[in-house]
Amino acid sequence: MQVTYWLEHAWLDPVVEPGVAVEVAGDGRISAVRTGVEAPPPGAVVLRGFTVPGLANAHSHAFHRALRSTVQVGSGTFWTWREIMYQVASRLTPDSYHALARAVYAEMALAGITAVGEFHYLHHAPDGTPYDDPNAMGEALIAAAAEAGIRITLLDTAYLSSGFGAAPDRHQLRFSDGTAEAWAERCSALKEREHARIGAAVHSVRAVPARELGTVAAWAGARRAPLHVHLSEQTAENEGCLDAYGMTPTQLLAEHGVLGTRTTGVHNTHLTDGDIALIGSTATGTCMCPTTERDLADGIGPAVALQRAGSPLSLGSDSHAVIDLLEEARAMELDERLRTRRRGHWTAAALLRAATADGHAALGWPEAGRIEPGAPADLATIALDSVRTAGAVPRLAAETAVFAATASDVRDVVVGGRAVVRDGVHALVPDVPSALSTAIAALRT
């Protein structure tokens, strides 16, 4: 069904335009964009506020949403946090994971996120036994995204070792396929569909031995699929890699063909100058997850240097300490201000680009993340009259969105031309808080 949306203000990268009519064809793609349309055309759906392309959450672990608040008790490090995470991971089944992910993806939709990259490594039963359908957990995530009305790139993750060749521990048995060849055989059975694309991931150089890295890279390369990897999130990972292989994680990945234009390193926090040059020269992407990186006390990554070297930036909510891509964009700039004691490392437009077009490209949706003919009609409208955004100058709506608005200010969300959120209410999951509460409570019993 064809539909026309009238956008009171729209971000047509890099400028804000008032009065934009977006015509959507029956296939859910934008067929025309007309500017200077002062009033809504007859029959048009009106989106009041500031409309941007749907946001891309380039890094998610959906089950981490169940950790929110629980992991804020006491003190510790990433490694103590991980022990609590393992406890939640051990309780998930295909059905309970579907229920949780459906609610989490609905929360994302309410935040203006129209595509998610799910870094998925909960493959088997807790004792490592495959389910009757070896991809039952991945299929649960794909179905959850469809029911929440968003797109997903399932980044099926190779996770084979507890650390630099050591066998998986009892918590990690369900993550492992044993070998990269077995991983590739299993995830080759996953099928793409209209709302879902399949990518690959190397969990980390800790979790995938060097001899197995090439198999994962070759699988992704043969399919021209996105390939993601946790990279140098922790200094302990760098030290372990140097001890095991005599080189940094970045150097190891480069040696085994993992880096490249379809690859995204997640976090890229503790890098040498040589690492930054390698990542940039191969046009490997960088996904920063500032709200998680600060929550886990990981550190502030060299995003400015990486981008200058040639690494495209994207954003993710990772552990879902909060789900708010506007906050991720803002935090990347503000963290850099704290580190350097200087303001203005990225413009609001550059930060929006990381949250939209570049994020979609990192997830294998290069046609998405922009408001232009041929792109999927994925839109997110941010209120300009909330207590946070009221008084904004319309031509500075991008600055208002990035530096003042929050996920709570997202008013309307459209995916493929279909309204998924209208006036702040999810059209497919009517009571998202209850869905979250029920799904999370089930994991505590």
Cα–Cα nearest to 84, from 64, 101, 100: 64
**Sign of the Cα pseudo-torsion (289, 294, 298, 304, in order):** positive
- 27 is annotated as an active-site residue: no
- Select which of 318, 335, 358, 378 is catalytic: 318
- Select which of 64, 267, 320, 360 is catalytic: 267
* Residues in CB range of 40: below 8 A, 6 or more apart: 6, 46
- 318 is annotated as an active-site residue: yes
Active site members: 267, 318
